[in-house]
Amino acid sequence: MEHRQRYSSGAKWEPIVGYSRAVRVGGRVYVTGTTATDETSGIVGVGDAYAQTVQCIKNIERALKAFDFSLENVVRTRMFVTDISRWEEYGRAHGEFFRDIMPATTMVEVAKLIDPDMLIEIEADAEA
């Protein structure tokens, strides 16, 4: 197996659950499910689907930059949302970042996320 590099955002759940925010293996970076948290694990944009999506993507971008990658390297995103009827709010934010990149993407409704104030969680895969 190729050398594995890990990136931690410092989120309080990482050491509890035992995961990395992002993992790079060769020319690929896998960004784990990322929510709208700030540096202290507080939720940004409570009740605001658009604002939470923007924060998720900014957090993904920060993880990618740790490996000298950018959003332009993203080939796939997966959005897990707690209310699919708000798809246009999530989609508008996603489109603002990815309209020219056009990664493969999925949006799926889930019953709930780890914190009841979280409306969306996004995973991303990127390639060099």
Tokens of residue 101, six digits: 């990149």
Which one of 3.30.1330.40, 1.10.3720.10, 3.30.50.10, 3.40.50.2000 gives the CATH number of domain 4-127? 3.30.1330.40
Tokens of residue 128, six digits: 């060099």
Quick one: which of 13, 14, 59 has its CA closest to 36?
Answer: 59
What's the gap between Cα 97 and its chain centre?
A: 12
CA distance 111 to 82: 6
Query: Is the model's pLDDT at 12 over the cut of 90?
Result: no
Task: Label residues 59-87 b or e (16+ Cβ within 10 Å = b).
Answer: bbbbbbebbebebebbeebebbbbeeebe
For residue range 62-119, list pLDDT tens digits in order: 999 999 999 999 999 999 999 999 999 999 999 999 999 999 999 999 999 999 999 9
Model pTM score = 0.94
Q: How confident is the model at residue 1 (pLDDT cuts 50, 70, 90)?
A: low
Name the residue type at position 117: D
